[in-house]
Amino acid sequence: MNKYLILIIVGLVILVAGMGYRYFILPRGQAPVITGNVKAVTIVAKKNQWRFLPDQITVIRGDKIVATVVNEDDYDHGLAIDAYGVSQRMPANSTITIEFTVTQEGDFSFYCSVPCGEGVVDGKKRTHFDMVGVIHVVPASS
């Protein structure tokens, strides 16, 4: 048999197996959801506070998140959300925009991905490692 014909048949078998898994085996709750809705959020790295505000964000599963991220500090920070493949440097005194779609339900942490030092805020020591937050992705029906 022609080797190209064999390659095409193998390719078709893989394609059909993938579609079969997606439509017949993968539980409905685990399939990615995309609503097409856009949700704008603003996250601010507060000046000399080593914190993101807000540090708790609730969004609806399937929405596209357009995050305006403000760095008020005179030094760089970063914003990383491992679950959604986001990792972006936030240059000093700047505003950046990050877009991603929250296709899966759950609580996903975000954090500063650039070592940014430490300081004392209201008598308490705060550091780079305190720059964390959570994105709560809830189902559309709740």
**Contact footprint for Cu ion (CB under 5 A):** 112, 116, 128
- Which CB atom, from 84 or from 110, has the smaller least distance to Cu ion? 110
Say how many C-beta atoms besides its own lie within 10 A of residue 31's C-beta. 11
In angstroms, what is the minimal distance from the CB of 60 to Cu ion? 29
Verify cis geometry, omega within 30 degrees of 0, for the bond prior to 54.
Answer: yes
In angstroms, what is the minimal distance from the CB of 86 to Cu ion? 15
- Which CB atom, from 89 or from 128, has the smaller least distance to Cu ion? 128
- Which CB atom, from 128 or from 136, has the smaller least distance to Cu ion? 128
Helices (H), the chain: 3-20
In angstroms, what is the minimal distance from the CB of 9 to Cu ion? 52
In angstroms, what is the minimal distance from the CB of 106 to Cu ion? 24
Residues in a beta bridge with 118? 127
How far is residue 49's CA from residue 142's CA, in Å, rounded to a whole number?
34
DSSP 63: P
Which amino acid is residue 67, in one-letter code?
Answer: A
How far is residue 26's CA from residue 61's CA, in Å, rounded to a whole number?
18
- Which CB atom, from 67 or from 112, has the smaller least distance to Cu ion? 112
